[in-house]
Structure 1
Amino acid sequence: LNKLCYFKRSGAQHLFFQGVAFNRETQQMNPELIPSGKLSMVHTTMEENFIEGTLHFLNEFVSCRYCPPKEIISYLITQILLHPHQGEILKDTYMLLMKIQMLHPANVTTVGWDWTLLKYIMEDEEKPPGQLLFLQYVVQTLEDDFQQNLRLRLLQKSIAKKVLSCDKCFSNVKEVVEWLVAAVTGVRFAQPPEQPQELSSSSAETRAECSSSAPWLPSTSQAEVAPPAFFKQKVMLLLQRMLSIAVEVDRSPNCSSCKIADVMFSFILNIPLRSQR
């Protein structure tokens, strides 16, 4: 009965496409790679490090019918989103990634990030400005793929099974617990010190935007201008969702939850402040 509720869930809310409905023909269409001629234009802008051109062409070429190859998605993540670019560039890159994810959800073979990259970004002392946007994107891909494979009863083929399984890769789950504790205690997670001035807005506006989206998936503007406490809270929500997926992805959720609880308990004992426990 507990699993039946997942068949009614709509999954994560995509900020880019709220309110957009796709017809049946579009949903059943088999996507193709962007044609080679158009893809060569994208590669040219990448070689010349013309970021605005790369984002523009991909926004024009990506559609329900055409999707970019995996290496293009990896380039958007590693070379643009996780580099110290201006806030507008980061926002446009994130929205493009979310557009691609909405139209062509990532799976085990097409996902553009891996655990090594995620671990490096989460433990990097020099926090890139796009860290939170990247974490949001990671959880989005995990959530979408998890919901899809849950409906198909193919969780063993999901991204979460590959990177968050308590049976196969519990060391990764332990690392998520460590990141969560670090976020709670403020040891490792702090908002990037430099935020773009031109994108600043009132906290009331950013909170209003958050209320219209999924509770664990804040908007891009919030990721850029949120106060430190709110920034930490969003990181904690995202990491908590990752642990929730880790519990649900294996066939024995009770055993998985006990394993996670045992690890978490040892960390809790070492947290000095009672309020943080």
Structure 2
Amino acid sequence: MPSPKARSGGAAGSSGRYEFMSLSRSPPPPALQRQGSDPTAARLRAADSPTRRRGSGSSTASTSSTGGQQLPEEDCMRLNPSILGIALSSLLAIDLWLSKRLGVCACEDSSWGSVRPLMKLVEVSGHGIPWLVGAAYCLYKSDSAAGQEVMLNLLMALVLDLVLVSIVKAVVRRRRPAHNRMDMFATFSVDRYSFPSGHATRAAMCARFLLAHLVLAAPLRVLVLLWAAFVGFSRVLLGRHNVTDVAFGFFMGYCQYNLVEALWLSPVTLQSMVGQLE
């Protein structure tokens, strides 16, 4: 009787070990049989394939760039800075640099520290309290109806200016320059904010108001314009505001006068309002 080794001798390898082939599968091609004889080389060839290299490289780059998490495309697009953002950041940097360079009267030790008392006098000339007191006094002392009408609307314009500037300052909340000294005359809670310059808005609005409703000679008209410009420029010299605060303040005050003209109170309108209140 033949031994089992003799019956399966063709299936035995050269090393004396037996190899069993599955009956449910067809035998692989000779090329794969040759590759299967060396499993380590097959794994290396699979790892070095171009598709494998491209896939592993892209996954490694995306994982390393996002800290192990893959971001969606819209989040990746937001990481790129926009041109508008770069322009605004550059404008802000120039504004801060120029404001610091022009703050030559910020303290007594500055390059123009000796001129600081004169700048503070100009600051008081553009303050809201002297203008409110002066407009109320002129309204009280005026004898003509036309003069009372002008002074009443000037008083209304000054109150409107205080309200609008306080609202914008409370919304924006921009701090004053770092080199500013808080020794201003009669400040309020919103005065710790810088944008916009209330002195600049008041100077621009009052200058337009006086030139439109008062009969002034040519030298006086030039003097009013120079006063408004000097009030705004003194805010930067004293270190109270940045350049953009004053520039926007001039623009805001110029536009406020248009609002005052639209809300102009005539004697007839005032009498009707008083009659309705009674």
TM-score (norm 1): 0.29
TM-score (norm 2): 0.29
Larger Rg: 2
- Normalized per residue, the structure richer in helix is 2
